Structure 1
């Protein structure tokens, strides 16, 4: 009886040692010396990944690790994407990360008022994106921060930006007030793009929208220099003063020569500018001019506006700006 007990104990010890011998390498630290991003391509398998890790010197024996993974690992499939592998991560931890870990997300930001030509250039300059795109339609992109994965197509990221604009504009349009002068979501985009360019102060947008809406309502020219510049630069900075010939041009974007809204947006307006034209401030103001502090002073009459404009010119001369 004692002999049988001894044999049993020896066999149990051998089993424990064998299990430890089998399991230990699976949980042992790898050769990763620092946190390392690792990209899993679509269609990759655990076998192909183990071979690649061995080739890179991250693990020593792919076949040994694959055998242990089949016995000890989970059944979840490997995800495609980019993952961060921690320094010294065991093969067990690597497999778990690739099966259920978070994919590394990267970000691209479209600021409010960024014209489509610059959205295009920003996406094309992002080295971790793939493929080509055309310059998107002006006003079709909702300014925001968007995440993407390494290797994702530029077209897919742009489609998310445009879908976000479609969704927001549709929702905002349904909540427009009776004060809104625009007759369609497209007109809302056009007027909002002008508001976006006319003021950089968020709290001033409803007032600017109110003054511009008043002008549209009575058939008065909008008089926004940004619309005149748009056909020349497609939204990029002009880099010089507007020429008299450009101010006199009768192209449909020149709101100093042609009444009504221009034929399309002049930039990609943000949520606040869109909301402002759909619920503009209740005001009788028709005019506004810079006040020297980053905002504007508003006027109901041309006489009052001329006084405000003279004060602005005087301030600029005192500053040496003209």
Structure 2
């Protein structure tokens, strides 16, 4: 009720301003921003309403509803650019909108999403207008050398996170930070790993973490998924996980995984080849790395998707086939 009243008051205020020519007065009147300088972080997903609310919380604008309504009238809803903005002088609401619309950031940002592969990372870097995309003309080997990596394959070596950067700097700096963070996360988790795991190196754990990342988006299932795959490794069973097959297909994958694809042998086809694939297949999150190195204790060897994001786990093939019939073949 209070929120509705506040909105009505703001609307009435703005309408009154408009009726008296005061809209121009509000838009051109310097905001009382204290203290200066002030830093604003406009993150991905910020819309006009959430921006206005954030500005009120930060003491930049006195009334979020008036600022929001001004933006709506001026058609600013779809023109916000993410980044870190430094307000170092008094600004009017119109000047503030213009700054965010033009993207006059003191720091820009790029997001690497957990589960992305290297191809998607390169596309994200290329889409950053304020980032020098120096890696675009480099081979993967050259990039690995430039960021100080000792590995032979870049897939999975970057930590998924939001990275801030100064405008017009090189993307190699972002990649170097992402590589170092992933290395630090992996080595820290390796030091606290459960005993008796069948990994020879931290890199093998990273490969498993990438598979776990792609197999489930449900956080609480990750340790159990890892436990199933580790049980299979210990028994010399093939992992038979679709994400590795899809990765091996590369750009040939059209979104529909067919039986012939499962039979098509590549170094990443865990239906045709035993053990782990040769490299990670995506960027694993810290949670997926922890799951790979501290898996749940389970006797399950199989799992099948329920259709709601979760899985049914089974310790025998008969139980697994019944679950497949129920959830995948609709034979209830």
TM-score by length of 1: 0.65
1:184 is aligned to 201
Cα distance in 1 for residues equivalent to 2:294 and 2:284 = 15
Q: Is 1:275 aligned with 2:290? A: yes
1:249-284, Cα deviation, whole Å (9 max, x unpaired): 232211011111011111010101110010100011
* Change over 3 Å in CA distance of 1:109–1:191 after alignment to 2: same
Q: Quick check: 1:112–1:269 contact (8 Å CA) kept in 2?
A: yes
Structure 1 CA distance for aligned equivalents of residues 216 and 85 of structure 2:
41
Q: Secondary structure of the equivalent of 1:194?
A: helix
> Judging changes above 3 Å, is the alpha-carbon distance between structure 1 residues 143 and 88 closer, same or farther for their aligned structure 2 residues?
closer
2:108 is aligned with 1:106: yes
Question: Does the alignment pair 1:263 with 2:286?
Answer: no
Tell me whether 177-186 or 223-232 shows the greater mean CA deviation. Answer: 177-186
What are structure 1's unaligned runs of at least 5 residues?
1-31, 38-80, 90-102
Equivalent residue for 1:87, pick from 82, 90, 95 = 90
Query: What residue is the counterpart of 1:116 in the other structure?
Result: 118
User: In structure 1, how many angstroms separate the alpha carbons of the residues matched to 2:258 and 2:328?
Assistant: 19
> C-alpha displacement at 1:225, in angstroms?
0.9
Distance 1:239 1:265 in 2: 21
Q: Distance in 2 between matches of 1:189 and 1:307?
A: 32
> What are the superposed Cα offsets for residues 102-127 of structure 1, whole Å, 9 maximum, x if unpaired?
x9332222111111111111011111
Mapping of residues 136-215 of structure 1, within 5 Å: 137-215=154-232
Structure 2: which 5+ runs fail to align? 1-28, 38-83, 93-104, 144-153
Residue of structure 1 equivalent to 2:151 = none
Question: How many residues matched?
Answer: 228
**Residue correspondence of structure 1 range 1-322 to structure 2 within 5 A:** 83-87=86-90, 104-133=106-135, 134=138, 137-233=154-250, 238-315=253-330
Q: SS of the counterpart of 1:297?
A: strand
Q: C-alpha separation between the residues in 2 aligned to 1:293 and 1:82?
A: 40
**Higher Rg:** 1
Q: Does the CA-based 8 Å contact 2:125-2:133 persist in structure 1?
A: no
Task: For residue 247 of structure 1, report the CA deviation from its aligned partner.
Answer: 1.4
How far has the Cα of 1:145 moved from its partner? 1.4
* Cα gap change, 1:33 to 1:241, in 2 (>3 Å): same
Instruction: State the TM-score, normalized to the length of structure 2.
Output: 0.63
Q: CA offset at residue 314 of structure 1?
A: 4.0
